[in-house]
């Protein structure tokens, strides 16, 4: 058991700051410690000004605009608010509030003392935040211009890489760099290598030089190598930024006069073994290492029109549910690492879910409806990338239709009850496909979950369009290949129990690797390359003694002692 003890100790080294017991993903601009958000007409300025005395955990200071998960939670919140609360914002200027540093990247002391599980989930969340920036640019008409003055290193440059346009101050000292490899013996943890080759399309030998050059690259060379878009002298910086803002804003299709929707706090009721949101309930079975996430369907028909939707705002069922599901998933990822499997259930009227989907589809050109569907896309991607076994149980009273049916296809397995449970008088369960299953929610690898499911036969996906709107019982769903198995009441309890016990008995690591592969058959995109190729290599390196051992580079950083490496190439 020695490895367990060692890991528990590494875990125990870090306590959340201020006596907190869990990481909270809910925040708002009034509470930000690290970011300033200012909106002026079509332009928002997001200023990174990290409070070094407000780390998420005890034991390190966030010097030089370095960041930890707490800083990124605020960034993610600011980006969400810009989408929903600021429909008029068409361009975001990202800059530093510190004079000689843009951002020093992820905090090294934080990394050196973090548990493996925290490091990996921290990187996953920061990756998702960067992807959300690109999603806002591509689909939501909010483009980001990053203004780099001072040193922009590691995760700082990776943040810049998520922007549409990088302006580097040409002052003889401002630089961009990815010094992780020479300095820390790890890789950039937030998509840096992949964005350098696949987004910036830097020539690969130059990328090799760049990623092994601790001091970074500045000025015209950074432009020539495609690492930034332009290098601008201090005197011309303001006018250049203003010009780029005008250009990018001019290409946006966001409304001039949309009324923003305030993202009210979710305020779940948190108990030892449960979380209760308005439309989501989470129950933990500690002994079984299970979290059951129950989604509740809408209790009213969709609003009459777009104005009524806007009036409902953050209480509009699809938006509220998406935010709650997102929060529940993040809570499980970061605060409940012992959870082996997430069981998805639902309660409600499948017809009412489809009616809401139809409403969103009819209003898909309205900025708010578009934002809500894009939010669902991101939340469902978050589910796909959650390293827990996912199983969806479809029973009487459930409402897995349209958007909610995506949780059937996101799951590693889905079981559906044939008929009724003994003593339950409700109608047998039915699922229903909708237009939402055929396009608006692609996975990280760029295809629909139905396509992912039927890679062998694209025709089958087309054929399923015939079933849109039909209430499919268990046998029909099984025959169409939509669920893993349809089970009788006699078998249900035992089958589900055996499956969940078995899942909890397997190696958590092997499950993570298996699921990361089986969930993403078929094509790859830059995004899926980041989550797969790059992340998997980074996770490997995060386990290697050369990085995290007693004499490894992360441990020795800042001690004056050089790291000692096992020189064998693997």
Judged by CB under 8 A, the residue of 255, 258, 337, 446 near its own copies is: 337
The residue (of 438 and 565) whose beta carbon lies closer to its own copies is 565
Name residues contacting its own copies, limited to 219-238 (CB under 8 A).
226
**Could you tell me where the DSSP H helices lie in 251-366?**
306-312, 317-335, 350-362
Q: Kindly state whether residue 520 participates in binding its own copies, applying the rule CB under 8 A.
A: yes
Name residues contacting its own copies, limited to 174-203 (CB under 8 A).
180-182, 185-187, 193-194, 196-198, 201-203
**Stretch (H or E) spanning 414:** strand 413-417
Which listed range, 138-146, 267-275, 361-369, 530-538, lies at the site for its own copies (CB under 8 A)? 530-538
Judged by CB under 8 A, the residue of 26, 306, 543, 557 near its own copies is: 543
Q: Across-strand partners of 276?
A: 269, 281
CB of 247 to its own copies, least distance (A): 21
SS3 readout for 503-551: HHHCCHHHHHHHHHHHCCCCCCCHHHHHHHHHHHHHHHHCCCHHHHCCC
Judged by CB under 8 A, the residue of 33, 63, 116, 420 near its own copies is: 116
Q: From CA 206, how far away is CA 44, in angstroms rounded?
A: 34
Name residues contacting its own copies, limited to 457-486 (CB under 8 A).
457, 481, 484
Name residues contacting its own copies, limited to 432-461 (CB under 8 A).
452-457
Query: With CB under 8 A, what is the number of residues at the site for its own copies?
Result: 100
Q: From CA 280, how far away is CA 276, in angstroms rounded?
A: 6
Structural tokens at position 539:
């996770």
The residue (of 81 and 381) whose beta carbon lies closer to its own copies is 381
Q: Kindly state whether residue 285 participates in binding its own copies, applying the rule CB under 8 A.
A: no
For residue 280, what is the DSSP state?
A: E
**Could you tell me where the DSSP H helices lie in 86-199?**
108-113, 116-139, 155-161, 180-184, 192-194
For residue 388, what is the DSSP state?
A: S
Q: Kindly state whether residue 379 participates in binding its own copies, applying the rule CB under 8 A.
A: no
Q: Kindly state whether residue 545 participates in binding its own copies, applying the rule CB under 8 A.
A: yes
Name residues contacting its own copies, limited to 487-516 (CB under 8 A).
502-504, 506-516
Q: Kindly state whether residue 524 participates in binding its own copies, applying the rule CB under 8 A.
A: yes
Which of 445, 405, 409, 412 lies closest to 518 in space, CA to CA?
412
Q: Kindly state whether residue 393 participates in binding its own copies, applying the rule CB under 8 A.
A: no
Structural tokens at position 37:
């958000």
CB of 270 to its own copies, least distance (A): 21
Name residues contacting its own copies, limited to 52-111 (CB under 8 A).
none
The residue (of 314 and 536) whose beta carbon lies closer to its own copies is 536
Q: Which class for 103: exposed (0-12), middle (13-18), buried (19 or more C-beta within 10 A)?
A: buried
The residue (of 205 and 257) whose beta carbon lies closer to its own copies is 205
């Amino acid at each position: 058991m020695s490895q367990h003890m060692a890991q528990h100790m590494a875990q125990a080294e870090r306590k959340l700051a201020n006596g907190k017991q869990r990481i909270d993903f809910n925040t708002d601009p009034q509470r930000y410690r690290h970011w300033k958000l200012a909106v002026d007409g079509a332009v928002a300025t997001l200023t990174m000004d990290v409070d070094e005395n407000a780390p998420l955990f005890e034991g390190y200071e966030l010097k030089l605009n370095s960041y930890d998960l707490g800083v990124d939670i605020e960034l993610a919140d600011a980006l969400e608010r810009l989408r929903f609360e600021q429909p008029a914002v068409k361009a975001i200027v990202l800059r530093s509030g510190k004079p000689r540093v843009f951002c020093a990247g992820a905090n090294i002391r934080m990394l050196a003392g973090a548990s493996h599980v925290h490091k990996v989930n921290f990187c996953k969340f920061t990756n998702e935040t960067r992807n959300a920036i690109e999603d806002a640019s591509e689909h939501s008409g909010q483009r980001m211009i990053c203004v780099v003055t001072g040193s922009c290193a590691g995760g700082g440059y990776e943040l810049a890489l998520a922007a549409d346009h990088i302006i580097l101050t040409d002052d003889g000292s401002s630089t961009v760099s990815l010094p992780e490899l020479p300095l820390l013996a790890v890789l950039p943890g937030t998509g840096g290598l992949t964005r350098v080759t696949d987004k910036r399309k830097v020539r690969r030998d130059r990328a090799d030089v760049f990623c092994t050059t601790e001091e970074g690259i500045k000025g015209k060379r950074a432009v020539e190598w495609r690492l930034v878009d332009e290098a601008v002298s201090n005197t011309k910086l303001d006018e250049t930024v203003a010009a780029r803002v005008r250009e990018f804003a001019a290409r946006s299709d966001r409304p001039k006069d949309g009324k923003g929707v305030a993202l009210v706090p979710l305020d779940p009721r948190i108990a030892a073994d449960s979380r209760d949101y308005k439309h989501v309930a989470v129950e933990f079975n500690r002994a079984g290492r299970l979290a059951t996430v129950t989604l509740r369907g809408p209790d009213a028909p969709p609003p009459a029109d777009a104005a009524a939707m806007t009036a409902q705002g953050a209480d509009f069922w699809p938006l509220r549910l998406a935010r709650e599901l997102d929060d529940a998933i993040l809570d499980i990822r970061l605060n409940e690492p012992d959870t082996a499997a997430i069981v998805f259930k639902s309660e409600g009227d499948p017809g009412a879910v489809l009616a809401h989907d139809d409403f969103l589809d009819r209003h898909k050109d309205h900025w708010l409806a578009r934002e809500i569907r894009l939010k669902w896309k991101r939340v469902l991607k978050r589910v796909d990338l959650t390293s827990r076994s996912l199983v969806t149980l479809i029973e009487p009273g459930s409402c897995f239709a349209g958007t909610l049916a995506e949780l059937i296809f996101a799951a590693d397995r889905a079981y559906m009850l044939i008929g009724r449970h003994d003593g339950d008088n409700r109608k047998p369960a039915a699922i229903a496909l909708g237009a939402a299953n055929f396009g608006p929610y692609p996975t990280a690898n760029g295809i629909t979950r139905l396509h992912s499911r039927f890679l062998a036969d694209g025709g089958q996906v087309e054929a399923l369009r015939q079933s849109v709107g039909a209430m499919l019982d268990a046998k029909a769903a099984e025959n169409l290949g939509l669920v893993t198995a349809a089970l009788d009441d006699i078998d249900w309890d035992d089958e589900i129990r055996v499956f969940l016990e078995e899942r909890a008995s397997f190696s958590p690591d092997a499950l993570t690797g298996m699921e990361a592969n089986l969930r993403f058959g078929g094509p790859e995109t830059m995004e899926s390359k980041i989550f797969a190729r790059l992340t998997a290599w980074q996770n490997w390196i995060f386990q290697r003694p050369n990085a995290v051992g007693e004499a490894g580079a992360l441990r020795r950083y800042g001690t004056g002692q050089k790291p000692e490496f096992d020189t064998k190439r693997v």
